[in-house]
Amino acid sequence: MGKIADTIISIEKSKTSKIAQVDFDNLAFGSVYSDHMLVCDYKNGAWEVPKIVPYGPLMLNPSAKIFHYGQSIFEGMKAYKDAKEDIYLFRPLDNHKRFNISAKRMAIPEIPENYFIDGLKALLKLEEQWIPTKEGSSMYIRPFMFASGEGFHASPANEYKFMICLAPSGAYFAGKVKVLIEETYSRSANGGVGYAKAGGNYAGQFYPTQLAIEKGYNQVIWTDDVHHENIEEAGAMNIFIRINDTLITAPTSDRILDGITRKSIIDIALDENIKVEVRTITVSEVVEAAKKGTLKEMFGAGTAAVISPISTFGHRGTDYDLPELENSYASIFKKKITDIQYNKTEDKFGWRVKI
């Protein structure tokens, strides 16, 4: 399929703009939306040409399968403005690839690369003024796709919508993150959908996370569903553990999401001659290391926060505090990644894409 020129993506401009009401110096994360959105319909066995329309509510039939069977997936990406106000994406083809991996698992038709990438670029160009420039802020991009077709029959829908919405967002400061190692509930299972960014994966985490919050934690660290012995990942972040000077993270599997931040960190670490082990890491190994003082860092990695350092983890009623380090790996990786994203440094990995 050829490139879709901006001219064939029809653009219906909104009559008014909300931009003057937005306080770009005090943006929260993902709670203000730009004036337009991209919509693309799947009907009669094919994707129609995407269109850009004013951001606003959708009309859906109550029998749309999204409401009943949860056929829905999403992605999370960001666009960055550099000092010259040029716009960049970070590894966008990887998001497209993962989107289709998620789609396939949920029996949703895959979206062609040019619809996703060219559609996103056209939307970002139209909304250029909405991309924040303040240090640490960016345009959060939410591509998503769901079953709009009707029917109470539990089977895949025959109609879908692919959409992209944009949310100018401030730096995501999670503060000191206190996590609980979960041993009762599971996020995902062998043969399941944990590797997909499927809506229901996140709904399923809300209740156990609420219980953890009631106990004074911010988030849950998921362990394997069989014995709850192995550290897997957090709600929307992969987990890294530093013991002495070695960086350890779990291998991806059908239970763990293949994070783009995760794989970027692994590449940067190897490039910095930091020892990386991609292997199963058990809860008891982490508890032992904490007791011996060899546990130096734990952090989450994902597009929203880039890196979210963990200050404390709870396990079976005991809290273990992590040391506060100068020049932590977390701070090194965060700087290296964001410098590439914001075009502050050369990008020897070829991750940055100018639009």
For ligand PLP, the binding residues (CB under 6 A) are 76, 197, 233, 236-238, 257, 259-262, 302-303
CB of 323 to ligand PLP, least distance (A): 25
CB of 10 to ligand PLP, least distance (A): 31
Going by the DSSP 8-state scheme, the letter that residue 26 receives in this structure is G
- CB nearer ligand PLP, residue 81 or residue 187: 187
- CB nearer ligand PLP, residue 71 or residue 308: 308
Alpha carbon distance 80, 91 (integer Å) = 12
Can you say how many angstroms the Cα of residue 334 is from the centroid of all Cα atoms in its chain? 16
Going by the DSSP 8-state scheme, the letter that residue 35 receives in this structure is S
- CB nearer ligand PLP, residue 122 or residue 256: 256
**Tokens linked to 305:** 């926060």
CB of 13 to ligand PLP, least distance (A): 31
CB of 106 to ligand PLP, least distance (A): 14
Going by the DSSP 8-state scheme, the letter that residue 259 receives in this structure is -
CB of 233 to ligand PLP, least distance (A): 5
Alpha carbon distance 162, 265 (integer Å) = 30
Alpha carbon distance 25, 315 (integer Å) = 39
- CB nearer ligand PLP, residue 168 or residue 259: 259
Contact 99, 143 (CB under 8 A): yes
Alpha carbon distance 307, 58 (integer Å) = 34
CB of 198 to ligand PLP, least distance (A): 9
- CB nearer ligand PLP, residue 81 or residue 197: 197
Alpha carbon distance 259, 241 (integer Å) = 16
- CB nearer ligand PLP, residue 161 or residue 187: 187
37, β-bridge pairs? 53
Contact 79, 132 (CB under 8 A): no
